Amino acid sequence: MKNRLINVIFILLFLACMIVPAIFMNTKEMQISEIDNKLLAEWPGLDLTLQNNTEVEAYLNDRIGFREQAIEAYTVLNDKLFHVMVHPLFMYGREGHIYYKDPTYIKGYQHMNTDEAYLDSFVDFISDTDTYLKKKDIKFLYFLCPDKKTVYPEYFPASIHVNDDNPSIPDYIKQRLDSTQVDYIIPIDELKEAKKDKVVYNRLYDATHWNEDGAFIGHKLIDDRIQECFDDVRPLSGDDYVRTTVHEDSLDVARFAIDEDVPHYALKDDISNDMTSYMYGTLDCEDDTFYSHFTNPECGNNRILLVFCDSYFGNYHKFYQNRFKEVYFVHWHNYKYLQYYVNLFFPDMVIYETAERSISGEMIGERDEEGKRISQIEYTDVYYEDPFEVRTSEDYDEISPERNSADSHVGYVITETKGVERDGTTLGLNVNEGSTVISISGYLESIDGDEYDVYANPDGERWIECDFWKLNELSEEEGLSQFNFSLQRRYAYEETVRLVAVSRSNDRVYLLDDFYVRYM
């Protein structure tokens, strides 16, 4: 009788272990796991042919009840009992240092994924960007943020070895950049020198980034370049910040108990205006993560800074927002929109930053079974529309309807306007409401068989290119020569916006139309 009771209890407990987690399954949409910082699989739907059984299995594995508690318990027990880290994202190195353990990250340490052909295309993009910006008299700087494994290789797991026959990704990029005219910073040596006196990457917290002491060193190097270019921008100084330490008891992107004090810099007297919401949601983009916008009319200069960045720079506008009239941060994923942002923001300087682990991971990607690279980021077929000023020597006053009628050469069709009400060639601008970015989109109709580029002159002075890489790709896909003129609403005055087409064969300028901005 006693054994029978034990068997019944055992069966009931077994059934409970099977049924209870299913009852408490997480069925909510768009859920992110705190334990491993990933988006949980979504329900793929029913398929009687069982073609989606892999997706169903992934859903059940991600959504089963008490998943996170079980993973956390297993992780904690291994850490406490054996000092073994079984976390899905991170691993222990030597002397208790925590490192990222993504396969591409480890291959980067081993010099096993230095794809030279791919990196050549990336450097070509950087060089082409520099060439385009120089034509517009805009300063350019490329910055590569090294991984912790590159600055602190001595603490990486001893069981993982390096293939010294291959160059590292930073070394190869540096070698290629040295053959260009690009100004760049890859601060590996500077950070290794600084670590003699201070910790520049935390031992535990935030294993994928430098800490704020390391960040300040990196941005001070950038400021050295800024000071060479602009003598009216106040230097970056530690005196403008309060340095404190913050206690962290868990990893930054995942739930794993730690005990570490990390440095933090706080701006003492922030006199800037956070304007991030001003254009957020109205900009054309691929990724609006890390977007921020600050203005500061009291900074003592009229300089505008545009930074393309990832998470390494995402929170460090505090090193710039008090020192420039305007600062914009956008994700580097928007690289095909770079020309669009330049013509919308009118920057004096562009900084393009990428993290080393982004290059070895999402940019280069993995390879399939046939050895073909599966890459999310492609830098081939770089396109920049030449600035108007380098296309033609004709003066603004010479572009007149009488002298340059486009009727027998090229026409245009307006497909969309935003932020204004168009009535023929009149653009009505409501002074009290409307989109913070106004735009005119359309396409050209070539009459003489030539190809043309479109430019806009919104104020009688500066010319804006009306094409950019992403738009050019869409034009090729749809078989239309599309153009887009975008302008921040605050720069729109009661002026004439002149739209012209420039022949690609002979650079002759043809007037498409004059649009008249009028306040409503």
Domain ranges in the chain? Answer: 2-82, 90-374, 403-519
Q: Does domain 403-519 have CATH number 2.40.50?
A: no
451-474: b or e for each residue (b if 16 or more CB lie within 10 Å)? ebbbbbbbbeeebbbbbbbbbbee
Lowest mean pLDDT among 115-129, 161-175, 304-318, 379-393: 379-393
Distance (Å, rounded) from C-alpha 379 to C-alpha 371? 19
Q: Which residues contact 500 (CB under 8 A, 6 or more apart)?
A: 388, 399, 404, 454, 455, 456, 457, 509, 510, 511, 512
> 462-519: per-residue pLDDT in tens?
999 999 999 999 999 999 999 999 999 999 888 899 999 999 998 888 889 999 999 8
How many helices (H) and strands (E) would you count in the chain? 14, 22
415 phi and psi, to 5 degrees? Answer: -105, -25
User: How sure is the predictor about 2, in pLDDT bands with cuts at 50, 70 and 90?
Assistant: low
Q: HSE-up of 340 (CA within 13 Å, CB side)?
A: 22
Lowest mean pLDDT among 122-136, 218-232, 429-443: 429-443
Distance (Å, rounded) from C-alpha 67 to C-alpha 22? 11
pLDDT of residue 61: 58
More confident residue, 88 or 111: 111
pLDDT of residue 69: 55
Distance (Å, rounded) from C-alpha 209 to C-alpha 200? 9
Distance (Å, rounded) from C-alpha 448 to C-alpha 438? 31
100 phi and psi, to 5 degrees? Answer: -70, 140
pLDDT of residue 376: 75
pLDDT of 70 over the 80 cut: no
Averaged pLDDT, 27-53: 59
Residue pair 251/98 in contact by the 8 Å Cβ criterion:
yes
pLDDT of residue 74: 47
Question: pTM for this structure?
Answer: 0.85
Share of the chain above pLDDT 90, in %: 65
pLDDT of 66 over the 70 cut: no
Distance (Å, rounded) from C-alpha 165 to C-alpha 175? 16
Closest by Cα among 338, 117, 307, 106 to 219: 307
Averaged pLDDT, 38-43: 59
Could you please report the per-residue DSSP string of 106-160? HHHHHT----HHHHHHHHHHHHHHHHHHHHTT-EEEEEEEPPHHHH-GGGS-TTS
148 phi and psi, to 5 degrees? Answer: -60, -40
Q: Of 20-24, 320-324, 425-429, which has the strongest mean pLDDT? A: 320-324
How confident is the prediction for the chain on average, in pLDDT? 86
